[in-house]
């Protein structure tokens, strides 16, 4: 059963954050055990973003959450994590 790590962030500069996402965040997350896919979105108008990263197991999704919470993985400059959670993936289309 797949699980999804979901986080919401505050973004100071969407263009700068997108560059860091492409060059730093995504390459690192893709190396995480059990990684299946990820989707990152941003609302330029309110400076908020949401990321969804799908893993094969709950433990793998929780490992990413713990890596972020511990400070081992830091968000890019100008990006502040507001919340994160792990959910069981129910369906997709």
SS (H, E, C) the chain: CCEEEEEEEEECCHHHHHHHHHHHHHHHHHCCCCEEEEEEEEECCCCEEEEEEEECCHHHHHHHHHHHHHCCCCCCCCEEEEEEEEEECCCCC
Q: What is the pLDDT of residue 45?
A: 95
**pLDDT tens, position by position, 11-62:** 999 999 999 999 999 999 999 999 999 999 999 999 999 999 999 999 999 9
Q: What is the pLDDT of residue 34?
A: 98
């Amino acid at each position: 059963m797949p699980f999804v790590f979901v986080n919401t962030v505050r973004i100071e500069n969407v263009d700068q954050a997108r560059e860091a996402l492409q060059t730093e965040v995504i390459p690192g997350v893709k190396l995480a055990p059990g990684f299946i896919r990820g989707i990152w979105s941003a609302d330029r108008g309110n400076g908020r973003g949401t990321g969804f990263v799908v893993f094969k197991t709950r433990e793998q999704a929780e490992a990413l959450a713990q890596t972020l919470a511990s400070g081992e993985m830091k968000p890019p400059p100008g990006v502040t994590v507001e919340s994160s959670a792990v959910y069981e993936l129910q369906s997709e289309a």
